[in-house]
Chain A
């Protein structure tokens, strides 16, 4: 049972354009969401997070949107740069339930082309 889903295994965008990565979840107990970026042969690194009390969080070129009614979040990267080419994982946690375990999606490979 995949509680966090990233339905697009890959995404290709041109440099300077917007990249939109999507993530859906099924567990209504999730109340904290994060995005991680992973380069080959490295561990994932934290990118941005959002609590369920918000619907948007912005950090420089990265913005995460949360639609709780649709159980959907998205990561926007504007403008996209070649260095953004990586695998992006969304993750979710049910902090209200007392847990700090993260459930990860399957990842989306982003390729930013020149």
Chain B
């Protein structure tokens, strides 16, 4: 099925461990995004990539790094996980002009840092 695929779906990390969240889309979208969802906070933008080869910080970038590997893939890395990074992470993609329907989201990664 066409769409946005995120891996893994669940992960438990110990404080200080590192990990990479993977995201791939097959809709030929130019732009990709990483959001986190926390109770009472809605969806907050971590990093985004307007097009292949570019990345920019969003609202809450501290503690994260990203790589736009190619047009399809956009990964999010936690170098030294902290309990404050416990959250649900969503990857999304879109055409550059949002083309009527905005973003297509993946199903999310639920991360717990203990």
**Residues of A near any B CB (own CB < 8 A):** 4, 6, 9, 32, 34, 36, 41-46, 49, 89, 91, 93, 95, 100-107
Contacts and interface: CB of A to CB of B under 8 A. Distances in A.
Interface string B21-53: 000000000010101000011111100101000
Contacts of B43: 44, 89, 91, 104
A46 B101 contact: yes
Given A4-B42, A49-B101, A93-B102, 8 more contacts: A43-B92, A44-B43, A91-B43, A101-B58, A104-B35, A105-B42, A106-B41, A106-B42
A22 B9 CA distance: 31
14 contacts: A43-B4, A43-B106, A43-B107, A43-B108, A44-B43, A46-B104, A49-B100, A49-B101, A93-B98, A95-B98, A101-B45, A101-B58, A103-B45, A106-B41
B103 interface: yes
A4 B45 CA distance: 13
Contact of B97 (A4, A89, A95, A105): A95
A42 B107 contact: yes
Interface in B81-114: 90, 92, 94, 96-98, 100-108
Interface residues of B, number: 28
Contacts, number: 65
Please provide the 6 A-B residue pairs with the shortest distance between their CB atoms, ordered closest to farther: A43-B105, A106-B42, A104-B43, A46-B101, A34-B102, A104-B42
B75 to A, nearest CB: 17
Contacts of A32: 98
A83 to B, nearest CB: 19
Contacts of B94: 100
A44 B42 contact: no
Contacts of A107: 42
